[in-house]
Amino acid sequence: MPFMKNKIQPDKNVTLISIMEPLELIEKYYPKDSKAYHFLIKHSELVTQKALQIAARVMDMNPDIAFIRSASMLHDIGIFLTDDPRLGCFGDKPYLAHGYLGRELLEKEGLEKYALVCERHVGVGISLDDIVKNKLPLPQRDMLPITLEEKIICFADKFYSKAKHSLLSEKTVPQIRGEIAPYGPEKLNQFDEWLVLFKEPCSEASASASVADS
């Protein structure tokens, strides 16, 4: 039946997320009065706000705003499965694993596209090569942001920590660059590329700093 080829398949991700809002999904795994919920929600709200500001600067690139809004809220949903008592998380995996653990969780929820944001937002992305060379406790595959929305959320996330005393304050670009620098020039270059691509204020100063570093 040739007409079947043109039949529009419903987007599973869109359907599910419209039924279940990000907060409902988070509350399925995090008690509302828990420390982990507090840190996760505050951090995720700030990252969402930042990601939407970035998206607004690059509307010519046609970012999916609705997706960014929901996916930013869900990007760290895996943290409760890791061991970080400062965040009220008492799982048995290292914190670094929260990205792929979030992916597994959202895949079980049928949210495959959102799941990839979880896996691909850690640092400026983690390559298979990084994992093998540094013997990281992660599945051996590339975990690099690919789509525009994945890149925007990964970039926005770098501006906020979940540390108790700096949870609410946005980091400066030099601060972030200082944190990324120990992971090597490739990582710093990636961040600097995004500063320019996403028209982050003071990107010119950062670009000069990058040249001076090299």
Neighbours of 11 (CB within 10 A): 11
Using the contact rule CB under 5 A, the part of the chain among 23-31, 34-42, 150-158, 174-182 near Fe ion is 150-158
Backbone torsions φ then ψ of 58, nearest 5 degrees: -125, 40
76 binds Fe ion (CB under 5 A): yes
Using the contact rule CB under 5 A, the part of the chain among 73-81, 98-106, 136-144, 205-213 near Fe ion is 73-81
Give ∠ CA 18-22-23 in degrees, rounded to 5: 125
Q: Of 45 and 193, which CB lies nearer to Fe ion in the complex structure?
A: 45
Query: In the complex, what is the shortest distance from the CB of residue 80 to Fe ion, in angstroms, rounded to a whole number?
Result: 13
Query: Do 113 and 180 meet the contact criterion of CB atoms below 8 Å apart?
Result: no
Tokens, residue 171: 């980091």
Backbone torsions φ then ψ of 141, nearest 5 degrees: -160, 160
Q: Give the Cα separation of 52 and 211 in Å (integer).
A: 29
84 binds Fe ion (CB under 5 A): no
For Fe ion, the nearest residue by Cβ is 157
Report the residue from 109, 157, 192, 200 that binds Fe ion according to the rule CB under 5 A: 157
Q: Of 76 and 84, which CB lies nearer to Fe ion in the complex structure?
A: 76
Q: Of 157 and 200, which CB lies nearer to Fe ion in the complex structure?
A: 157
Please tell me the number of Cα atoms within 13 Å of 208 on its side-chain side: 3
192 binds Fe ion (CB under 5 A): no
List contacts with Fe ion (CB under 5 A): 76, 157
